Structures are given as C-alpha cells and as structure tokens.
Amino acid sequence: MTTELNELVSKGASPSDSAFVAPAIVATVVERDGKMWQCARGVGHAEDDPVTGDHVFWLASLSKLMCTIAALQTVERGLIGLDDDVKDVLPELAALEVLDGSVDEHGVPSTKPRQNKITLRTLLSHSSGVGSESFPPTLAAWANATGLPNKTLDSDQQVMLKCPLAFEPGTGWTYGEGIDWAGEAVRRLNGLSLEDYYRKNIWGPLGMTRSTFHPLQFGQYIIQPYQRQADGGVKAGPLVVPRDAPVEMAGHGVWSTPNDHAKLLSALLRGGAPILSTKSVDEIFTPQLPDPKHLEAELHGFLERVLAPTIPRSQPVNHGLGGVVNLKDFPARRSAGTLQWVGAANQFWWIDRTKGVAASTFFQLIPAGDAKANAFNNKFEEAVYRSF
C-alpha cells in the first residue's frame, strides 16, 4: 500500500536519481486511529549518519502552529479572549501606526494612528496588519526608505518593534510577524518563557522530547542543512537563522523532529486531547476572514511559490487560526476544510479531519519555495491519498 510513497522518498533523496530533490527527506503520515507510516532517506547530521525521524530540524514557520495552540490554551484559561484588545498586554504593538497610502517629501511612506483594535484572532489569522521588512510590498518599501535592515530571522525582535502596520486590523491579510506578537502575549500572560511554557503545556504532555528553541543541546542530532545552487545542485551550507537565537520567536524559532511534529498533528487530528479542547481545535480550522481576497492575492501573487505551491489557483481558500483552509475538495487529494502550512526550509504539513489523515514532509533545504521540493510535496500529497 505504501510502496509508491517509499519509492518517491527514496528517489527524492538519491543524488544519482533523476528525481533527486535534496540529500535528506523525512515523510510522515498519521491516521486518526494512531497508525503512523514514515520513510526517512538520506543524510542526517553527517554523511555517515543516516537521517531518521528523530533528527532535529529547524521548523521555520512550522513553529506557528505551536503558538496557535499556546494562545488558545491561554484563552481557555480565561487570561484573555480571542477578540479582546491586546493593547494592555502588548503596549509596544499598540503604539505602532499604520501606513496611510501616501509618502512624505523624502519619499518615505507615511503613517497615521491606528483606529481598529488588534486581537489574538487577528494576530493568529494574519489579519492584524502586522507584516515585516520584506512583505507586503508596501512595508518593504517603507523598510527600504527608512533603512530598516532585513533582520526578522536574526530572532531579535527588532523588526516587529519598528515596522508599522500595513493596514487597519481586520481589513486585509498579509504574512508577517503577527504570530511572534501572539507568542509574546502568551509569554507575558502566563509568566513563563516560551520554552518553559511549551514544554509544560504542549511538548511534555505529547511526549515531544526533542523540541526546543535552543537546539545546541541536541548537537549530534541536528540535521545537516543544504542550499540550492544556481545550477540546480545542492551543497551543505548554513541556515538563515542562528542556532543560539537571542529571543524565542514563536513564528519561526522552534527546532523539532519529524516524530515530535507528528505527535502534534496527531493530537489535532484526534480532536485536541490532551492539549486543547475540541472547541478550540474547531476554531483553528474555522475560516476567519470575512473576505479572503487579500489572502488569495498574496498566495497566488508574489508569495505563491513560498506559501501556496500545493494550492491550485482555481481553489477557494481562507485562513484559520493555524494555517490556510481550502473551502472545497481538491480532486483526488485533500478534503474541504483541510488545514495546511509550510516552512522556509521547504517543509509542508496538512491535517484532513474529514478523511482522518495528517501528513508532513521534512526538508532542511533553502531558499524557501524550492521548485523541486514544491513538486515533490505535490506528488507526495497525491500519493498519500492513493495509499491511505
């Protein structure tokens, strides 16, 4: 039943095969009844170390789902509501102005005081107006005009503390550092570092023993990263984030293993226990945007190869509290209501509650939006639904 999947992964991790993608691939499928299939092929920490599901990868934006869970746990405790104004918890965020669509006499995009409130719901659904120095293009123009360097992945919070909002909260959609602000709210409201909070409330209860913001402790288990070259080949090279990050960034700072991550997906697939109520899990999968046109514009525009390589342009989508939700069935693939997200090292996951299956692919390959990895991820999803 899984022969096709095994062959796909094996060829994808074999440098001598025409279907070669990267030197290491770990693909995992979990079913609602707890059964798990996994295929790991290629290089682990070093050339003589075969990769396994227990090697430690930088999760990049796969980190975001953990923050969503932590934020909803905080809501369940009554420490804040999803639709409460976060101004008292995050006064630095509340002080940021919003772009007004004009430029001053020096060519710098102008800002004005914000009117709408910022909430956990808008932060988790990327509809708060919080972007970054790179996107949307309006904020990239502001950053370029003001000399703000490209520092988000330095993990020092400097960009999120300085960038204005791209639009009034609740009126648009943009990828950005909203999850980092949500993580800061979790930290402050619970009085714990994110490392300690996640370990106590997510990683510990699920038995995720190699998940952390501080990966150096797992030295020999850290996967070797690779970079795609201009000629299409790959070579070993550093990632774009520090391993000793100065700040625990909820949006991109977690390191974990395919096996640990599968436990997280499995918990949500089964309804949330022991980390979330079924009501909160349902909210994660619920479309949050009144009008998804801004989301669709980014997903099928300049961010398509990075955020939406597995989403056909013809398919309507919305955004939940933990990722993109497709509103109709993808023929021969995922069901309507499936949640999915991706990571900058070309990782990919989805949870299909209708068909009772969740899956992930783990690469440690940059830059994001790699064409060969994107093609692999599409083929993998198709093969999963033929096999399970």
Catalytic residues: 61
Tokens representing 376 are 């692999």
Q: How far is CA 65 from the centre of its chain?
A: 7
Rounded distance between C-alpha atoms, residue 203 and residue 212, angstroms: 9
Rounded distance between C-alpha atoms, residue 210 and residue 204, angstroms: 10
Q: Which of 52, 27, 29, 56 is nearest to 42 (CA)?
A: 52
Rounded distance between C-alpha atoms, residue 338 and residue 323, angstroms: 9
HSE-up of residue 50 (Cα within 13 Å, Cβ side): 6
Matching residue, tokens 């700072």: 253
Residues 6+ apart with CB under 8 A from 324: 295, 299, 307, 308, 311, 317, 318, 339, 340, 341
Give the E-state strand segments of 43-97 in sequence order: 57-58
Q: Backbone phi, then psi, for 379, in 5-degree steps?
A: -65, -40
For the beta carbon of residue 297, count every other beta carbon within 10 angstroms.
15
Rounded distance between C-alpha atoms, residue 253 and residue 365, angstroms: 16
Residues 6+ apart with CB under 8 A from 64: 179, 250, 251, 252, 322, 323, 341
